Amino acid sequence: MPDCQDLGHTLHWVTRVSDLLGAQPTLSFEFFPPADDVAAKQLSETLDELAPLAPSFVSVTCGVGGDGHDRTRDIVTDICGDRPFPAMAHLTCVGHTKQGVAALLDDYAAAGVVNILALAGDPPDGSAISGDFHYASELVEVVLAHPAGFSVGVAAHPEVHPRSLDRTSDRRHLTAKLNEADFAITQFFFNPADYTRLCNELAGLGCHKPVIPGVMPVIWPKSIRRYAAMNGSTVPEPLFARLESQPALDRIRAAAEAATELSQALLDAGAPGIHLYTLNRPEASTKIAALLSL
């Protein structure tokens, strides 16, 4: 059961994700900030439906620039106060100043939020990177230097980050970043061999930090094809073709079964947990959790 801290007016779940990794496989869910009231209601209902699964933690993505940081902060703070599981805030550095990030970290510390996923983010429309930071590793340094003692995760890309010059430099930069942080969560991928190769390459460079695979149930194949093209994730054509031809209910069931098969293979290969990209919907994640019996 996660640790609980009394912040005076409300109880907050303050378990550090890094303390959860290793004992038994974790199951975590990722959400994005809703765009309007209808989407906010949908997210709240999804959280209600997933709560009985007792997730190890959940995480909330963060937009680049604008009010992206504030929206994530408000949702993460609410979840930590209202729900019996910890929430981790994604924090992007592109387009942000050191001062702005420091103020946000103070907000998180005051609200009892102890988990941060430190990311570069992507400049909008491929524009040049602006702000005080270039790489996620610079953000990791700032988060670790904060007196709150945050648990810090970073992103890893099993199929190599699309901006990397080559595989060797990708792994070298990831090793340097992950050696400073507590754990990594991966971009989505569909071939378990990509995960084992990543872990072996990191181990070969002397990095043995936990790497949690991110698993994307293909509930909306068209959108996920688009995300995959942006991330450099290879799409398994037979699976996508089959899902694209199915009506919604069959598709969600089949997507959950495929994601379960991948998750089980990853756990068998020694993954410390599974991080499910929920797209703010509960159906596939509920099925996967039941099938995996975590």
Enzyme catalytic residues: 30
Nearest distance, CB of residue 232 and ligand FAD, angstroms? 9
SS3 146: coil
Q: In this complex, which beta carbon is closest to ligand FAD, that of residue 8 or of residue 206? A: 206
Q: Is 57:20 a contact under the CB 8 Å cutoff?
A: yes
Contact between 164 and ligand FAD per CB under 6 A = yes
> CA end-to-end span of the chain, whole Å?
15
Nearest distance, CB of residue 66 and ligand FAD, angstroms? 11
Q: In this complex, which beta carbon is closest to ligand FAD, that of residue 25 or of residue 254? A: 25
Site string for ligand FAD, 224-243 (x = CB under 6 A): --------------------
Q: What is the total residue count of the chain? A: 294
Q: In this complex, which beta carbon is closest to ligand FAD, that of residue 251 or of residue 275? A: 275
Q: In this complex, which beta carbon is closest to ligand FAD, that of residue 175 or of residue 246? A: 175
Q: Which of residues 113-142 bind ligand FAD (CB under 6 A)?
A: 119-122, 135-137
Give the integer Cα–Cα distance in Å for 264 and 71: 34
Q: In this complex, which beta carbon is closest to ligand FAD, that of residue 19 or of residue 180? A: 180
Q: Which two tokens stand for residue 160?
A: 């190599």
Q: Which stretch binds ligand FAD (CB under 6 A): 37-45, 185-193, 202-210, 278-286?
A: 185-193
Of 17, 88, 155, 254, which one interacts with ligand FAD (CB under 6 A)? 155
Of 158, 192, 214, 217, which one interacts with ligand FAD (CB under 6 A)? 214
Q: Which two tokens stand for residue 74?
A: 């408000």
Site string for ligand FAD, 69-108 (x = CB under 6 A): ---------------------x-x----------------
192 membership: H or E segment, kind and range? helix 192-204
Q: Which stretch binds ligand FAD (CB under 6 A): 8-16, 74-82, 100-108, 182-190?
A: 182-190
Q: In this complex, which beta carbon is closest to ligand FAD, that of residue 136 or of residue 259? A: 136
Residues in contact with ligand FAD, counted by CB under 6 A, come to a total of 24
Distances from the Cα of 129 to the Cα of 123, 236, 267, angstroms: 6, 32, 36
Residue environment code for 10-38, b if the CB has 16+ CB neighbours within 10 A, otherwise e: eebbbbbbbebbeeebbbbbbbbbbeeee
Q: Which stretch binds ligand FAD (CB under 6 A): 38-46, 77-85, 170-178, 245-253?
A: 170-178
DSSP 247-281: -HHHHHHHHHHHHHHHHHHHHHTT-SEEEEE-TT-
Give the integer Cα–Cα distance in Å for 64 and 121: 6
- Helix axes of 192-204 and 248-268: crossing angle, nearest 10 degrees: 30
211 membership: H or E segment, kind and range? strand 211-212
Nearest distance, CB of residue 77 and ligand FAD, angstroms? 16
Of the candidates 169, 180, 188, 186, the one whose C-alpha atom is nearest the C-alpha of residue 207 is: 180
Q: Which residues bind ligand FAD (CB under 6 A)?
A: 61-62, 64, 90, 92, 119-122, 135-137, 155, 161, 163-164, 169-170, 173, 177, 185-187, 214
